[in-house]
Every structure is written in structure tokens, then in C-alpha cells.
Amino acid sequence: MKNRVRNEKVRNIAIIAHVDHGKTTLVDHMLKQSGTFRTGQEVDDRVMDSMDLERERGITIAAKNCSVYWRDVKINILDTPGHADFGGEVERALKMVDGAILLVDASEGPLPQTRFVLKKALEANLRIIVCINKIDRSDARPEEVLNEIYDLFIDLDASEEQLEFPILYAIGVKGLAQHSLEESNDNLHPIFDTIVEEVPAPSYNPDEPFQMLVTNLDYSEYLGRLAIGRVFHGKVQGNDQLVCISDKGEQIPLRISKLQVYDGLKLLEVKEADAGDIVILAGIENVKIGDTIANKETPKALPRITVDEPTVSMLFTINTSPLSGKEGKIVQGAKIRERLYKETLRNVAIKVEDTDERDSFIVKGRGELQMAIIIEQMRREGFEFTVGRPIVIYKHENGKKLEPIERLFVDCDENFVGIVTEKLSLRKGRLMNMENKGSGRTMMEFSVPSRSLLGYRNEFLTDTKGTGIMNSYLEGFEEYRGDFPTRINGSLVSDRLGTAVPYALFNLEPRGILFVQPGEPVYEGMIIGENARPQDLDVNPCKEKKATNVRSSGKDNSISLTPVLPMTLEKAIDFIREDEQIEVTPKSIRLRKTILQENMR
């Protein structure tokens, strides 16, 4: 490409890894060792996982950015999510970088999500640095894992040039990396040096005017809407006259109130930024992800970002149960709608649609986990609402119904192979590959419809006694594979409003598994347990023991009930059927029938 020059003072890299392979921990040590934190400053572990939910679940949900300086070169680091449901974040992050560190666990090897993100990185022609992490684990097998990584690259049609990647070995927790297993080292300098030497500096055309692609949005209480992206060409100054080019090609004039760049984990206000750097523009409204921000005199649009389509939808409605408004602060349909649309500003993989009913909204996303995270975030913010069962989004082409198909990887004890394959074949899954790891565990690969995995995760954990691991990524769309039976058991449904009492629950225990404890409020249409039989059963959980004038021996006072496992959001999403909903409040998660009255169902 003629006239292109490189900005040697900047490197932009993403860190790609599977869930829990040590990505965020490694970035922590990079920040500490590059002198980003001053001596003596107290630093939390996993500083990059700033959301409460991220710290609790130990996963990264939203891609974060930070920067470090190494030998006068600014390295912008993007920490990407490692879970397939947040793939939208990954694709956007890769648009801003020229290279990526592929971080792989020395024991587990490359897992499905590694494959998903690496495929995207190779398609974007990024320079890959392979880093095998956790080499101090007792079950580490770095040489075998390296061969698996080569196999994965070949499997993904990597070019010869892409196969010649630099290799590093690391112990992220101790903050050390080395070029070979024989070396001994006590810092991350090899990683910094490899980034500066191997990752190409961002190239740009000095004759082109300013162009920036908006790859992420944020919101600040003080500065309003923030547009985050990489400067592809030209320079930008804080007082420049700019335009935003929308998806329809419209040009909207802009005036930025603040120009910022990443400095460590903080934002630093600057007067101007050069091509290749990642900048944050403040005070601009009506900007969407994928828009180009350009010079007013010569506006030119950059290619827009494309993100895989959503595969699952859920219905969000206001809470209409008799307990509505007792536990949440925000219950109005308009507020719920506003919050959901605000989510689409930051999250490109989410789509929200209004329905014919005023207080119902359809939310489309990538999977159950992504939906559960949004529901949990809203719940913590004080919202109260109900959600329906996740529904898979089908496509119709040439008169055929197509459904999303996932590639599912199962790692379980060899004793459970039979039950796992049996259950998945009932759900229209096809076994593609099976490999005995020799340690008593078996790795299986299935091609399954996305709808088969809705409600299967908890069943899988029960079948494998909590020891099984399953991961999946979206493979594409195929012709509909046919129906299969979903949950076999019916529900135990309360037939009245009141409070659950021990005597009634004790008599209901033989009927199935209960979800409520004595003293909990119940109402007509609320699901209080899973029936041992296929049909739903209306029951009375409020029935007191009749008082008689015959003196009791006192043994009735000591009713002993089976302990109830707390209902989690994921468990609730897995459990409900098409005619059931989840009532979500800041304090409780309850299950209910969509139509509460027994005589109307």
C-alpha cells in the first residue's frame, strides 16, 4: 500500500484466552511490572474485572482497555471476554488491534472458546504471540499443548506465515514469562519485548484526513456518551470540527467536549492524538457502534463492524404477580424499557424490540449466560420484572426452516459417557469425535442444535455428579432437526395466596422436589416445586393442621423437612417451560405460570 507509514511509538494488542486461563491476572502483572502503579500503591487482584459480577463469577464480560509503557513504546492492551456468549465484544476488540496474545492453559490446552476467538483473529490477519500459561501446575503438559495449538492453527486454515508464531511460557500468578521451558526468569520482560518486536506498529496514510471507527461505547455521569475507537488516519485535536457517518450514510456534525487516551487504567485528557492510538471522545450523542467519526471537510466512511446475529430471544415484561412492588424499587414498564435500550448502547450483541403489548419487550442475544448477566445486573440495580423461557431464533431460507447449530465439547469421567451421549442423542445431538485422555476422562465433540442446550446444563452437572465440563460455540445454521421432548416432569403449583407452612410442605414432599421454605409468601399460579409426575399439580402449601381438643404428644411440633436448595437465575432459566415465567426481584427469584388463575390455564 503506497504512502503508508507506521507509528512506531504505539502497539495495540488483544489478549485472547478461554474462560479462566489467566488472562486478567496476567494483565494485572503487566500493569504492575511496567511501572503503571507507583511504588507502594495498593492494587486489587484482577483489577481489570471491575464489574461485581465479573469478580464473583471469575469471568470477564465486557472488553476492557488499558495501556502500559515499555521502552518509550505505548502498548494498548485490550482484555477480551473468554466466553462464547460475549463473542460480540471479542469481534469489536479485534478491530482495534494489530496483534494478539493467545493465552492457553498448560494443562487444559486450547479449548472451544480459544478456537472461536483465534478464528476471528486469523481472519483479521493479526500477528499472534502464543503464551502457554500456568506451566507450574502439577498436571502441566506444555509440549503436548503446543502441538495441540499447531493442530488448531492448521485446522483453522492458518497461512504459513501465521504458523510461524513466537512462543512464550508463563506463570501468570507469579508474574513471570520465558522464551523456553529451560530458562529461568522472574519477570514479564520477555512478553513486553516480544510485543514490541513482533506486533506491527499501526500503519496509516499521512495524507488522509482524520478517521476513527467507533468500536465501543461507554457512558459517564459527568461527560455523557463516550465513543471509544482507534484512529485509523490523521490526527485529532480536542476542538476539531468533526462529523459522524451513520449506517445510512448520514453525516451528523459533532463537537467533542473532551479528548482522552488510556494511561494505565485511567483516562488521561490530551490536546491531540495521533493515528494508531486508541482514543475516547466525550460529549457526543447519537453515535452507534460501527459509525465512522471523520473530519468535517473531507468525511469518508470506514467499513462497518459486523457482528454475528443473535441466536436466542427472551420476553421481558412487568411483574404482574400479587407480590409485585414489594421488593423492588423500579417496577414501571417505561423504566424497564429505558434500561434495556441503554444496554444496547454498550452491548452490540444485544437487540431489543417492542411488542404489541405496552409493557413487554423482546431481548435478543447470544446465549443463556449473556441473558442471565443482564437480568442479574438489572436485579442488582433495583428492578423488578418477569422473564420468559429463552427461545431459539430460527431462519427461513428457500422454504426451509434453519436452526442455529453449536459445536459442543464435553469433558467428563469415562463412567458418565453413556448417559451424556444418550441424553444428547435424544436432543438431536450427533457425536462427531471421541477421545480417551488416558486419565480416566473422555473428551467428546458433538454437533447439537442450540435449543438442545437450553435447560441441559443443570441436567448435565447432575448426570456427571458435578465433575463434567461443557463448552460450545456457534457453528452455523442447518435444517431443523426435528422435535424432541423437553422437561419430563410437571410443576407443583400453589392454588392460593398466603404463606407456606411446615405442615403443608411436609405432606407435599412425597409429591416431588420443593422450591419453597416455611414462611415464604406464595400466590395462586406460583410454582413451588417440581412434580414427580409429568403433569402439573395444583396444591395448597398454606394448609394448617386442624386443631383438635385431643392433647398431642408433642412430636408433631418437630416436623423435619428436606433442605431446599436456593433457586439461582441459571437454574430457573433451565427449568421453566413455554407456559412459565421467572419473577425477578432484588431479593428473590420465583417461578410462576404465565397465566396465574387455575381456571384460566
Residue corresponding to grid cell 476471528: 120
- Sequence-ordered list of residues with C-beta below 8 angstroms from that of 80, at least 6 positions apart, any chain: 14, 15, 16, 23, 60, 63, 89, 90, 93, 94, 117
Q: Which has more pLDDT, 349 or 561?
A: 561
Q: What is the pLDDT of residues 524-533, one digit of tens each?
A: 999 999 998 8
Q: 1 falls in which pLDDT band (50, 70, 90)?
A: very low
Q: Which has more pLDDT, 58 or 163?
A: 163
Question: Following CA atoms 527, 528, 534, 537 in sequence, which dihedral angle do they give, to the nearest 10 degrees?
Answer: -80
The Cβ of residue 468 has, within 10 Å, a number of other Cβ atoms equal to 18
Domains and CATH numbers, the chain: 5-203 (3.40.50.300), 205-295 (2.40.30.10), 312-389 (3.30.70.870), 395-479 (3.30.70.240), 491-577+588-600 (2.40.50.250)
The arithmetic mean of pLDDT across residues 461-466, rounded, is 86
Residues 115 and 153: their CA atoms lie apart, in Å, by 9
pLDDT of residue 53: 56
pLDDT of residue 552: 59
Annotated binding-site residues for GTP read 20-25, 133-136
pLDDT of residue 17: 75
The arithmetic mean of pLDDT across residues 312-335, rounded, is 90
Find out whether 437 and 413 touch, Cβ atoms under 8 Å.
Answer: no
Average model confidence (pLDDT) across the chain? 83
pLDDT of residue 61: 47
CA-only gyration radius of the chain, Å: 27
Q: What is the pLDDT of residues 359-392, one digit of tens each?
A: 899 999 887 878 888 898 899 999 999 999 998 8
Out of 14-28, 173-187, 321-335, 481-495, the most confident range is 321-335
Q: What is the pLDDT of residues 50-97, one digit of tens each?
A: 455 554 555 544 446 788 888 888 888 886 665 555 556 677 778 888
Q: 38 falls in which pLDDT band (50, 70, 90)?
A: very low
In the chain, what percentage of residues exceed pLDDT 70?
89
Annotated binding-site residues read 20-25, 133-136
Find out whether 188 and 316 touch, Cβ atoms under 8 Å.
Answer: no
pLDDT of residue 46: 45
